[in-house]
Structure 1
Amino acid sequence: MDTRYTLKARQHARGAARPVVIAVIAVIAALAVASWVLIFRPHQELVATDNGGHPSSPVTVSHAAATPVNVEAMSVNDLLSEAAKAMKEQRYLAPAGNNAFEFYLRVLQKQPGNRVASDALRETFPFAASAAEQTINQRNFAEAQREINLLAQADPTNFTLTILRSKLDAQRKTLDQEQQQQLDQQHQQQLAAQKAVAAKAAAAQLEQQQAEQAKVVQQKEAALAQQQREEASKSQPTQQTAAAATPAATTVETRPAVLTRQALPRYPTSAQRAGVEGWVEVDFTVGTDGKVHDARVAHAQPRHVFDHAALEAVNRWRFQPAMRNGELVQSKLRRRIEFKLGNNR
C-alpha cells in the first residue's frame, strides 16, 4: 500500500472536518447570545428596574387591587405572562394565589425544566425575601409564615430562610413579652386600686372608732361631773346646819385635794394597732386654783409608749384644792393611769 496516498487522504479528511466543527461552534455561540439578549437580559433588567436595582431596597407595594386567579386552569404561557405582570407590580409573594412566585412554581410543576421560571425564582429570591421581612416587621405572622413557606418551595436550602425564621420567632417572642408586660401592668394597677380601697376603708374605720371613744370619754366626764354636783348638793345642807348651830365658831378645815373633773387619756393609735397595754405613774402639783402643774412621768411600763397620752390627760384634770387650817394650799400627788384595750382610762 502506498503510504503517500494514505497520508494525503488523512490530510484531506482533516481539512474537510475543520469547517464543520467551526460551523457547529458558531451555531452554539449564536444560540447562547440570542438567549442572553432575548430572554435572560430583559428579565434581569426588568427585575432591576422594578426594585431599584438592589435586593436590599425597601419594597412598598399595595396588593389591594390584585385578586386570586385560577392558576390550575392556566397554560404555561399564561402563567409566565401573569408572573411578568406580577413582577412589574412587585407582587413577589402576595397576595396569596396571585403572585409571581406561585406562578413560576406552577410553571415548574408543569414543565420542571423551564429555565425562565427557575432563573426568575433564583434572581427574584432576594427581593421576595425582603418583602417577607417587611411582613415580619409588620407583625403579620400568619402571612409571614406563608411567604416563608413559599420561598422554601423555590429554594429550600437558602440560608436566608434561616434568618427569616429567626426574625419571625424573635418578633413573636417580643410580642408575647409586650403582651405579658401589659398584663403585669394591669395586674399591678388592680392591686394598687385594691390597696387604696382597703386603706380608705381602714382609715374610715379608725376614724369611727376614735369618734366612738371620744363620745365614751365625754359621757364618762359628764357622769362624773353630775355625781360630784350631787355629792356637793348633799353635803351643803349639813354644812349650813353646822354653821347655823355654831354661828360664832370659826371653821378650821384640813383636807386633801379632791378630783372634780377627770379627762380620760386617748389610747395611742400605734399601740392600739399593735395590741399593746401598759400603765404610767405621773407626779404633779395641784395648785390653789385647782389646776394641775408640773406634771411629769415617774414610772411607765412600757416606757415612752403612753407617756404623752398620760400627761395630756392629767393636765386636763381639775381638783378642789387641798386645804390646811382653813386655807387653800398646794399639794403634790401621784396617780397611776392604766392603758388597757377596751377600758381606756
Structure 2
Amino acid sequence: MDTRYIRHARTHARGAIQPVVIAALVVVVVLAAAAWFLIIKPHQDLMQSDNGGHPSTPVSAGREAAPPPANVEAMSLNQLLSEARRAMNEQRLLAPAGNNAFEFYLKVLQKQPGNQVATDALRETFPFAANTAEQAINQRDFNDAQRQIDLLAKADPANYTLTILRSKLDAQRKLQDREQQLAADKEKQAQLAAQKAAADKVEADRQAELKTQQAAAEQTRLAQQARQAQQQQAEAARQPQAAPAAAAAGPADAATHAAVLVKNTAPRYPTAAMRSNQEGWVELSFTITPSGDVSDVKVVDAQPRHVFDRAAMDAVSRWKYQPATQDGTPVASTKRQRIEFKL
C-alpha cells in the first residue's frame, strides 16, 4: 500500500478527533463551573458562616441583604430565577422571609411545574438549607426555624432530614419549657423563703416586745410593792407598839401577793397554719402550784377551734411563776391567759 495514503489517512483521523476532544473539554469546564457555583461555593460559605457568621447574612462584611421585590406574583420566570440566583450568591437560602432562594425557586415551580433549573437547585442546596434551619433551632429562634422547615418540606416533603429537624425543634422547645419552669420554681421558692423570713422577723419582734412589756410590768409591780412596804412601815411607826410577839409576827404574816410570771416560752407556730397564712388566738385557764409550776391547763375558748390549741397548751405548760403567797406562805392559784398567733 502506498505510504503516502497511510499518512494522509492518519492525519485525517487526527483532525476528526480534535473537535470531539474540544467539545468534551468544554462540557467538563461547564460542569465544573456549575458545581462550583451551585455546590462547592455555597458549602464553603456555609462553613464560613458556621465559624462566626450566619447563613442568612451576606458573605461580604458590612454588606446588607437587598430588600425583597415589590411584587413577586407579577414577576416572570426569568426574573424569579434571577432573584433566586442572587439570593443563593448572598447565602439567603431560607431567610429572610419573603426574600430567599427557596421561596423564589418554589414560586418558579408554581408558575412552571417541573422547571428543571428550580428543581435541580432545590435538590442540590437542600442539605445546606437544612443546616441553616438547624442553626435557627440551636439559636432558639423557634418561629423562624418552623418557617424554614416548612419551606424545606415544600421542596422535598419525603426527605428524612425533615424528621430529624422536627425532632430537634420539638426537643429544644421542651428543653426551653423545662428551663422556664425551673426558673419559675426557683423564683417561687425564693418568694416563699422571703415571706417566711419576714414572718420569722415579725414573730421575733413580737416576742421581744412581749418580753419588754413583761419586764416593765414586773418593774412596776416591784415598785408598787416597795411603796406599799414603805406605807406599811410608816403606818406601823404611827400606831402604838403591840405585844412583842405580835409585832414580830405581824410583818411576815402580812405578806400576800398574786403569782408573778418569771419565765415564759413562746408558742411554736403550727406549720399548717403558717402555710395557709392563718391567724388566731387561744384563751387558757391553768393552775399555778405553790412551787411556781403550771398544771391543769385547759382551753377556755379559741378562734379558730383546734388549730392553735396544742401549741398554746404546750407553751404555757413550760412557764414558770413566782407563786402567789398568803400571809407569807406560797399557795396555789388559778389564772386565765390569752395567747395570740399572728404572722
* CA distance 1:35–1:157, shift in 2 (3 Å): farther
Whether 1:45 aligns to 2:36 is: yes
The residue that corresponds to 1:152 in the other structure is 153
Whether 1:269 aligns to 2:261 is: no
* CA distance 1:195–1:105, shift in 2 (3 Å): same
Q: Give TM-score scaled by structure 2 length.
A: 0.65
* Deviation by residue 1:84-134 (Cα, 9 ceiling, x = unmatched): 222222111111222111222222223323222211111110000000111
Gap regions ≥5 residues in structure 2: 1-19, 59-63, 270-281, 297-313
The residue that corresponds to 1:341 in the other structure is 337
> 1:342: Cα distance to partner?
5.8
Q: Give TM-score scaled by structure 1 length.
A: 0.64
> 1:261: Cα distance to partner?
9.0
* Deviation by residue 1:284-340 (Cα, 9 ceiling, x = unmatched): xxxxxxxxxxxxx8x774899878844xx58xx9xx9x9xxxxxxxxxx76557665
Q: Is the 8 A contact 1:83 1:101 kept in 2?
A: yes
**Please, which of 50, 60, 72 is the counterpart of residue 54 of structure 2?**
60
* CA distance 1:144–1:300, shift in 2 (3 Å): closer
d(CA) in 1 for partners of 2:266, 2:78: 91
Q: Is the 8 A contact 2:261 2:319 kept in 1?
A: no
Q: Which deviates more, 206-215 or 158-167?
A: 206-215
The residue that corresponds to 1:255 in the other structure is 249
Percent identity, please.
44
The residue that corresponds to 1:228 in the other structure is 229
Structure possessing the higher radius of gyration over alpha carbons: 1
The alignment partner of 2:288 has SS state of strand
After superposition, residues 3-82 of structure 1 pair within 5 angstroms as 37-38=29-30, 40-46=31-37, 47-52=39-44, 58=50, 60-61=54-55, 62=57, 64-69=64-69, 70-82=71-83
The alignment partner of 2:123 has SS state of helix
* Deviation by residue 1:187-232 (Cα, 9 ceiling, x = unmatched): 2232223223322222232223222222322222222222222222
The residue that corresponds to 2:139 in the other structure is 138
d(CA) in 2 for partners of 1:123, 1:228: 111
The residue that corresponds to 2:288 in the other structure is 279
> 1:157: Cα distance to partner?
0.6
Gap regions ≥5 residues in structure 1: 1-26, 244-250, 283-296, 323-332
d(CA) in 2 for partners of 1:304, 1:203: 16
> 1:50: Cα distance to partner?
2.8
After superposition, residues 192-211 of structure 1 pair within 5 angstroms as 192-211=193-212
> 1:36: Cα distance to partner?
6.5
The alignment partner of 1:269 has SS state of coil
Q: Is the 8 A contact 1:92 1:128 kept in 2?
A: yes
* Deviation by residue 1:227-247 (Cα, 9 ceiling, x = unmatched): 22222222223345x69xxxx
d(CA) in 2 for partners of 1:152, 1:203: 66
Runs of 4+ in 1 over 4 A off after TM superposition: 30-37, 53-57, 251-254, 256-263, 271-278, 302-308, 333-340
The residue that corresponds to 1:93 in the other structure is 94
The residue that corresponds to 1:190 in the other structure is 191
* Deviation by residue 1:150-205 (Cα, 9 ceiling, x = unmatched): 10110001111111111112222222222222322332232223223322222232
The alignment partner of 2:261 has SS state of coil
Letter in 2 for 1:279: I
Q: Is the 8 A contact 2:264 2:318 kept in 1?
A: no
Q: Is the 8 A contact 2:262 2:320 kept in 1?
A: yes
* CA distance 1:304–1:98, shift in 2 (3 Å): closer
Q: Is the 8 A contact 2:106 2:118 kept in 1?
A: yes
After superposition, residues 171-186 of structure 1 pair within 5 angstroms as 171-186=172-187
d(CA) in 1 for partners of 2:267, 2:334: 13
Q: Is the 8 A contact 1:92 1:101 kept in 2?
A: yes
> 1:278: Cα distance to partner?
4.8
Q: Which deviates more, 116-125 or 301-310?
A: 301-310
d(CA) in 2 for partners of 1:261, 1:229: 16
Q: Is the 8 A contact 1:135 1:143 kept in 2?
A: yes
d(CA) in 1 for partners of 2:173, 2:228: 82
Q: Is the 8 A contact 1:279 1:336 kept in 2?
A: yes
Letter in 2 for 1:198: A
